[in-house]
Structure 1
Amino acid sequence: MCQTILLSYDLRIPDTRYFPKNLGNYSGWGEILSLPFTLTVINSTANFDVDKLFQELTTEEKVSLIAAANFYHSNGVERLDIPSFRFSDGPNGVRGTLMFFGVPAACFPNGTSLASTFNKDLLKECGELMSVEAEHKGVQVIMGPTTNIQRGPLGGRGFESYSEDPYLAGMATASIVSGIQKSGKVASTLKHYVCNDFDHERFSSDSRVTERALREIYLEPFRLAVKYSQPKVIMTSYNKVNGVHCSENPHLLQEVLRDEWKWDGMTMSDFFGTYSSVPAIKNGLDIECPGPTKFRRWEIIKHLLQSKEGNLSEEDIDVHVRRVLNLIKYLVEGRGTTKFDFTQDEKNNTPETSRKLRKAAGEGIVLMKNDTGLLPLSKKDSIVVIGPNAAAFNAYSGGGSATMDPYYLVTPLQGIKNKFGDVDYAVGCYTYKALSGLFEGMTNDLDSSKPGVRATFYLKGKEDRLADDKPYDVKVIDKSVIFLADYEHPAVDLRTKLFYIDFEGFYVPEFTGDYKFGCQVFGTALIYIDGKLLIDDQTKQTRGTFCFSSGTVEVTAVTHLEAGRKYKVTVEYGSGITSKVGTDFGAGGLQVGISRIIDPAEEIKHAAALAKSHDKVVLCIGLSNEWESEGYDRDDMKLPRETNQLVEAVLEANPNTVIVNQSGMPVEMPWLKDAHSVVQAWYGGNESGNAIADVLFGDVVPSGKLAITWPIKNEDNPAFLNFHTEKGRVLYGEDVFVGYRYYQKLQRDVAFPFGHGLSYTEFKYENLKVATDKDTLNASVKVSNVGQVAGKEVVQLYISPVAPSIIRPVAELKAFEKVELKAGKSAVVSLSTDLKHACSYFDEFAHKWCLEAGKYKVLVGSSSADIRLTGEFTVDTTVFWTGL
């Protein structure tokens, strides 16, 4: 049924970045037009009949459906009421659109933090909250979670993945996906399929990995997620696996995903991760992202179909079209309409959202060391807070596609003040990788009520502008790190993305002295102080790691500034296409910063003196979203700049120092033997500071367990010799011995083992029972809280083959449960798992999983190195199997 009505309407041209199609070449932004139009009201709750729609599609319309329209939208077919859907990052929240000038969002704890909760129910609740966030961002498909394996501690995106252990990673992923898809209105996207475990030369790197390691380690979390949560979408990774790009790899996309696992969802490429027309279509990639398409333009596909080049047929395309339509059917039926709402808002910024984020962040915090009982702190103590991370505004999340504009941010210093009251504070040292913070400290002549600079957008550079050339947009920008990868505007050519921005504002220094200015850019940039050129990042450029490794190295300059004087600062920016070193990765990016030059030794001396004058010290150190980010890997495991010198000086001045480290992956701690209390706080999202304070003062009893092994030094880790691309390939030489599997096999010491985490109470294990039948392994153990306060314990079950016929890990995690107990209380904890999943290895000769006959030990404990009880069972008959 439908009804047609003739209306006249005053239409304000919207921000078309939020829509899949350009609404026209309008010079005005927010221009009012009076337009007559007809409105056809369709019964949009009608059944979305895929077969019927498929028959009505033209070949050109089919081709349009298998490529994205732009950065965050699929193509729709308006005449058939096939809607476009919106997809959005990502790993630790739902950004919506865009990275630049986007709508603030809820920032969740990073991946390793979430996995360190070892709490499947909590992770499902996080997924449900992500789904609610998606609704408030007009998003139907969330591009997350990230379920890659952390081969080593230096991976740029390690922070957004869950674990080095495939079982923990898989179950964490399944829990998040189940939560996201519970409402039936939002689809979840597993990424990055597969072996995208580092970022060095990620577009071309060839991951050479044995089939056994591929199955047991790298594909396993994806398999578990498919088995237990059936994600609607899987994103392919940039890299090759054994010589073939993942986005066109028939073994991965067809043989494993479709034939063995019987998964019937939709695949999409990572952004700019499609490398061909014919192989990608024939081998299993459903949608090329982002748009506008490079390889699936109608004129290209039409020629291929007509000429039979590459043996491409319409039937090859039809397979992908049906999968896209099936995803849309899921979304339409879940929402009861084909009219998807793309409205974005901040209305989910509520006390309930904050409570959930705070709970998730607190439960992931790991108490790694507390040998003198320094923690929890007392509010009666005299406390000083020291360290660069205490007041940092870039340690709530890692960088890259995880970046978002949070609703708000509570730093550790603010969280402690919220709990304790005012405290003394000293920064101790700088830890920036590249300078930032310039625009945040400036004022402008466009809106004096807001900090930031006036940003004026042009289609021509300054040298080419005529007197009557007007800007197409003007904004106030209050952030110095600007990613424009997904920036679009009706005035800007969607293919070239050529535009220019003049940033202008005023800076008034608080102190007289020498100041260092810095700039890194994907595009070009010139920085002027009072009309005098200070930095030229345009004439000559050197490739660096900025902006997903598409930008320049940082260019710096030092100038003397007088306190209280008003300086005019101008930055002339040209978009990504003007770069001399960049690649085609969106519209560009800019980072500008300033820092007063200090004497590091004097700052550390001052911090040590302050530490000595107080009872207790909270020393906040670690990394940030510029050290751990998509686009590049860390060079080493060391803490930045003078951090270690600061820690050593403060510990010497006051042994009653609690060290709070924020990082997504391990860092070296050369002072560890001298530190009595160490807390791993990860990147906690919006509620980072409050969650840290909750644990420090005992309002939350720590219950997090390390989702990754913490090596003593980088050279100890299993991927040390193979964690980079050499001449196009990277050898996964550690094979199945990733993480704790390696350290246990070699009996190598670590700083902290996998699964480790202390509490403010103690737990006793007793009465382990183990039983098996044909399909299932069941175990139970009595756990008692023998301490003085209520707390949560993670009971971990590992399987160890007694006499395997091939080399195997000493033990592997195969089940875990988290139990909450009041002081003096006990509970029987049951752990159950599929027998074949718990005990099998992948046999490369049979090309099947092998459940080998023999004896197996059951190891139950509080970590991989703290086994409290052991049991045993026997598998009588060897069985080979495939699939889920």
Structure 2
Amino acid sequence: MDYKHVIKQMTLEEKVSLLSGKNFWESQELERLNVPGMFLADGPHGIRRQAAAADHLGLNESIPATCYPTAATVANSWDVELAQEVGTHLGREAASQQVNVLLGPGMNIKRNPLCGRNFEYFSEDPYLTGKMAAAYVRGIQAGGIGAHVSGAPSTSRGIAACIKHFAVNNQETRRMSIDVVVDERTLREIYLTGFEIAVREGRPRVVMSSYNKVNGEYTNENMHLLREILREEWGFQGCVVTDWGGGNERVRGLLAGNELEMPGTGGESNREVLEAVRRGELEEAVVDEALERLLALADETSQALVWKNQKIPRDHHQTACKAAEESIVLLKNQDTILPLDTSKTLAVIGDFAQTPRYQGAGSSRVNPTQLESALDRLESSELRIIGYEPGFHRFGKKSSDLVERACGLAAQADTVLLYLGLDEVSEAEGVDRTSLALPENQLDLLEALVGVHSRIVVILSCGSVIEMPWIDGVSAVVHGYLGGQAGAQAMVRVLLGLVNPSGKLAETYPKTYLDVPSGANFPGGQATVEYREGPYVGYRYFDRQPGGIQFPFGFGLSYTSFEYHDLRVDSRGARFTLRNTGALAGKEVVQLYIQGPGQAVYRPEKELKGFTKVHLEPGESREVHLAFDAYSFRFFNLKKNAWDVESGMYTIFIGASSRDIRLQASLSVQGSDCGNLYDLRSLEPYFTGEVENIEEPTFAALVGRPLPETHWGNRIPMGYNDPLARTKYARGWFGRLTHSLIIFTHWLLWKIGQRDTANLIMMSFYNMPFRGIAKMMGGMVSRRMAEGFLMMVNGHFFKGFTRLITKEKQEKEVEYEYRT
């Protein structure tokens, strides 16, 4: 298709109509010129194309699709080839369901372990995040059904992957209005490097802009992020789509290069663009530039959809099982209680054994093609299962009777398999967690079982970090994270020793939340969240501390053992020999960390700069080579506004985790003289790494400007971009009543057990800005109607009510005129 020629044939109205969605999931087509529309669907770990009513919250059931382990799970595999294989299968299924753009992978950094969406993200480390995300993207975009089904044309194009959420979207609380205050160096090195790797190495066709502001400007209209960095610096040639309802000022978004607004707004955004062009505020050439990218995306992805409704191959479930197996992390194995002895009797306890917790909640929720429970798998194995007890109510209700029955069963068995974890409403899009602890009723059960049994194997099912003050009382801990539809099968195979666990943690496990450096600044104030810890996220902070962690980044045990020796380092990379010294075949994730000279540039103790997963038979040795790359030695030099390398002596570490360093060597690197780059007096905590309680003047010095006001203040008039949470301080009685009703409704729903709906209240109302009310309603609520409601909460009830009603009528008249 000659896109420029097609665009020249369009009227201005037709051009503008293509820049916003047709409905909730589809982009607009133009039949007159054979321009196809596109279907965009959620799916970081499976396709969520809804057959009936559409929503962004995971409420309505979708067409069955393979539910793979979540990104947080697969990240523990540290296996880029496996990630690409999963991506390939995702691409196949998306094409079969006629999905042009798969909205994933999610790749935001796990700044804080309480982020409610951490189950959907890879890691606290940008290098690991970027490499895994790039692999997913390559697989998804090569996995169009046309490239893999017999008889398909060889010229078929793949569907598009959409990496998200760009950028610095590291919390769910007030995600649509929060202003992230972060210094440029931390922004570049921690929060953008993963995206950079994914763009440069994965070459995604689509990037999704996030809801939040970054340093005072919404990301969907942020020229620095979208134009200067994403397009000019990284060379991104694809399309940028807003997160659903995440568009702010549509014209400013277009100027920044945000081509597509989703979902559709009933033509309201189109009118804004049309009027801006006619007034001369927006050049038509900007519209044409956006359209050229959109047409290319629609045309190329549509070529992958010629093979429709293909049956999902059986190997997709097998790949889901393989991904889960490779990602299971063995955290403790006292007295080698695992693999399980098939001659011993077993008691199976825990609700999650019977009803699996296998994926997260919200927009990523997949309707699996099949699902199995751990209990069924255990009972069909050669293990001697004497019985099962749930032990606790899934959503937290206490029951002494359930505990008593579980203890009675446990006393009759040689070993207890105890399935614990977080329920579906504890980890969900739109809300952050409030604690790192397991639910209290599960802790009560665990305490009671420890009192009657000495051989307890805990199997964990949750998508993010938890505290484990109880770990000394149990014999083994196996973490399955959220293993997808085949997770139960994968776990039983590991427990039996049919699979040697090889997963390693992609995030640090602190002993308590009090040890987390960002804890004092999460989720921030009412208007802003300040990243006062700078680059010291996860192990970058903890590796400077003598204690404070339960398990380090990169940690994971095996049923065998490995020996590292003979390290050789040169300008190209590091070489060493790895040997399996145990009696079983196994896989080891070897990790390359680099420590900077530590002279003129503040840095973490060490940073991950390479990794690979190596399979070895018993007694086998292999030479491993980890190459240096463009990311190995660089830092972002603010004075040059560019990446730079500091001259000096670097230390190269090879380890089994960030705290288990097996080999090290030194390497002299030539770069720039970085003397006098920083004022040590004003930034001393960033040189020492003691960033737990950074004072405001120190952080302001790091950011390089005065800090914005972080609180809304009482009784201040609310604005269009304020969330409904701010109605607590509204001038008018109607606003304060609205706030009280939201809070009461949430409390009541939670009390009666409707916790999914309670979470929905917080996500879709409490933390939703007035802007979002209009953007998410597909044109049913206009901006002027939302502004009328805003006038009502600001104390002008009758004036706002009148405006709401009259403007609704006027908008319908204008809409009719526009469409005709």
Q: Same fold (TM over 0.5)?
A: yes
Q: CA deviation at 1:806?
A: 2.2
- Residue matched to 2:6: 53
Superposed, 1:381-530 pairs within 5 Å as: 381-393=344-356, 395-420=357-382, 423-432=386-395
Which of 233, 237, 248 is 1:260 aligned to?
Answer: 233
Whole-angstrom CA distance in 2 between matches of 1:862 and 1:284: 43
Match of 1:817, as an amino acid? Answer: T
| Contact 2:345/2:414 (<8 A) preserved | yes
Q: CA deviation at 1:294?
A: 6.0
Q: CA deviation at 1:344?
A: 5.0
Match of 1:850, as an amino acid? Answer: D
| Contact 2:456/2:474 (<8 A) preserved | yes
- Residue matched to 1:205: 178
- Residue matched to 2:25: 72
SS where residue 745 of structure 1 aligns? coil
Q: CA deviation at 1:845?
A: 2.2
Which of 131, 141, 145 is 1:181 aligned to?
Answer: 141
Which of 650, 655, 658 is 1:864 aligned to?
Answer: 658
Match of 1:289, as an amino acid? Answer: M
- Residue matched to 2:503: 704
SS where residue 631 of structure 2 aligns? helix
TM-score (norm 2): 0.78
Match of 1:286, as an amino acid? Answer: E
Whole-angstrom CA distance in 2 between matches of 1:97 and 1:150: 29
Tell me the alpha carbon deviations over residues 756-790 of structure 1, each in whole angstroms, 9 at most, x when there is no partner: 00000000101111110xxxx31111111110110
Tell me the alpha carbon deviations over residues 132-185 of structure 1, each in whole angstroms, 9 at most, x when there is no partner: 111222112110000100011111110000000000000000111111112432
Tell me the alpha carbon deviations over residues 13-46 of structure 1, each in whole angstroms, 9 at most, x when there is no partner: xxxxxxxxxxxxxxxxxxxxxxxxxxxxxxxxxx
Which of 599, 608, 624 is 1:813 aligned to?
Answer: 608
SS where residue 116 of structure 1 aligns? helix
Tell me the alpha carbon deviations over residues 421-475 of structure 1, each in whole angstroms, 9 at most, x when there is no partner: 6551111111316xxxxxxxxxxxxxxxxxxxxxxxxxxxxxxxxxxxxxxxxxx
| Contact 1:200/1:725 (<8 A) preserved | no
Q: CA deviation at 1:378?
A: 2.3
- Residue matched to 2:253: 280
- Residue matched to 1:305: 277
Which of 712, 725, 747 is 2:546 aligned to?
Answer: 747
SS where residue 425 of structure 1 aligns? strand
- Residue matched to 2:456: 657
- Residue matched to 2:811: none
Match of 2:49, as an amino acid? Answer: G
- Residue matched to 2:124: 164
Question: Over aligned residue pairs, what C-alpha RMSD do you find?
Answer: 1.7
- Residue matched to 2:533: 734
Do structure 1's residue 117 and structure 2's residue 77 form an aligned pair? Answer: yes
Do structure 1's residue 681 and structure 2's residue 681 form an aligned pair? Answer: no
Q: CA deviation at 1:131?
A: 0.8
Do structure 1's residue 874 and structure 2's residue 647 form an aligned pair? Answer: no
SS where residue 842 of structure 1 aligns? strand
Tell me the alpha carbon deviations over residues 644-673 of structure 1, each in whole angstroms, 9 at most, x when there is no partner: 111122123222111011111111112112
Q: Which moved more, 1:414-423 or 1:663-672?
A: 414-423
Whole-angstrom CA distance in 2 between matches of 1:124 and 1:723: 33
SS where residue 378 of structure 1 aligns? coil
| Contact 1:86/1:342 (<8 A) preserved | no
| Contact 1:86/1:140 (<8 A) preserved | yes
Whole-angstrom CA distance in 1 between matches of 2:87 and 2:537: 28
Superposed, 1:770-849 pairs within 5 Å as: 770-772=569-571, 777-834=572-629, 836-849=630-643
SS where residue 510 of structure 2 aligns? coil
- Shift in CA distance, 762/272, structure 1 to aligned 2, threshold 3 Å: same
**Across the two proteins, how many residue pairs are aligned to each other?**
653
Match of 1:756, as an amino acid? Answer: F
Whole-angstrom CA distance in 2 between matches of 1:71 and 1:725: 31
Match of 1:324, as an amino acid? Answer: L
- Residue matched to 2:296: 326
Whole-angstrom CA distance in 2 between matches of 1:108 and 1:61: 40
SS where residue 103 of structure 1 aligns? coil
| Contact 1:149/1:163 (<8 A) preserved | yes
SS where residue 226 of structure 2 aligns? helix
TM-score (norm 1): 0.72
Q: CA deviation at 1:876?
A: 2.2
| Contact 2:36/2:299 (<8 A) preserved | no
- Residue matched to 2:319: 356
Which of 548, 551, 560 is 1:761 aligned to?
Answer: 560
Match of 2:197, as an amino acid? Answer: L
Unaligned runs of 5+ in 2: 52-57, 144-156, 675-820
Do structure 1's residue 690 and structure 2's residue 486 form an aligned pair? Answer: no
Whole-angstrom CA distance in 2 between matches of 1:302 and 1:187: 28
- Residue matched to 2:798: none
Whole-angstrom CA distance in 2 between matches of 1:341 and 1:138: 8
Tell me the alpha carbon deviations over residues 62-99 of structure 1, each in whole angstroms, 9 at most, x when there is no partner: 11221111121111111211111111112111112255
Q: CA deviation at 1:700?
A: 0.7
Unaligned runs of 5+ in 1: 1-47, 434-597
Whole-angstrom CA distance in 1 between matches of 2:91 and 2:126: 25
Match of 2:644, as an amino acid? Answer: C
Whole-angstrom CA distance in 2 between matches of 1:879 and 1:263: 32
Superposed, 1:537-556 pairs within 5 Å as: none
| Contact 1:68/1:289 (<8 A) preserved | yes
Whole-angstrom CA distance in 2 between matches of 1:599 and 1:754: 34
SS where residue 121 of structure 1 aligns? helix
- Shift in CA distance, 657/67, structure 1 to aligned 2, threshold 3 Å: same
Which of 399, 408, 423 is 1:600 aligned to?
Answer: 399
Match of 1:764, as an amino acid? Answer: E
Whole-angstrom CA distance in 2 between matches of 1:723 and 1:418: 46
SS where residue 102 of structure 2 aligns? strand
Which of 49, 55, 59 is 1:96 aligned to?
Answer: 49
Match of 1:74, as an amino acid? Answer: S
Which of 281, 285, 289 is 1:315 aligned to?
Answer: 285
Do structure 1's residue 621 and structure 2's residue 420 form an aligned pair? Answer: yes
Q: Which moved more, 1:734-743 or 1:635-644?
A: 635-644
- Shift in CA distance, 766/391, structure 1 to aligned 2, threshold 3 Å: same
Whole-angstrom CA distance in 1 between matches of 2:314 and 2:380: 16
Whole-angstrom CA distance in 2 between matches of 1:121 and 1:629: 28
SS where residue 419 of structure 1 aligns? coil
Q: CA deviation at 1:747?
A: 3.0
| Contact 2:243/2:262 (<8 A) preserved | yes
Q: CA deviation at 1:791?
A: 0.4
| Contact 2:108/2:167 (<8 A) preserved | yes
SS where residue 379 of structure 1 aligns? coil
SS where residue 816 of structure 1 aligns? strand
Whole-angstrom CA distance in 1 between matches of 2:620 and 2:241: 49
| Contact 1:148/1:197 (<8 A) preserved | yes
Whole-angstrom CA distance in 2 between matches of 1:833 and 1:82: 45
- Shift in CA distance, 599/61, structure 1 to aligned 2, threshold 3 Å: closer
Whole-angstrom CA distance in 2 between matches of 1:342 and 1:765: 49
More helix by share: 2
Divergent runs of 4+, >3 A: 292-295, 340-345, 420-423
Q: CA deviation at 1:127?
A: 0.6
More strand by share: 1
Match of 1:643, as an amino acid? Answer: Q
Tell me the alpha carbon deviations over residues 790-823 of structure 1, each in whole angstroms, 9 at most, x when there is no partner: 0000110000113331220000000001010111
Whole-angstrom CA distance in 2 between matches of 1:738 and 1:260: 25
Do structure 1's residue 244 and structure 2's residue 228 form an aligned pair? Answer: no
Q: CA deviation at 1:680?
A: 0.8
| Contact 1:398/1:624 (<8 A) preserved | no
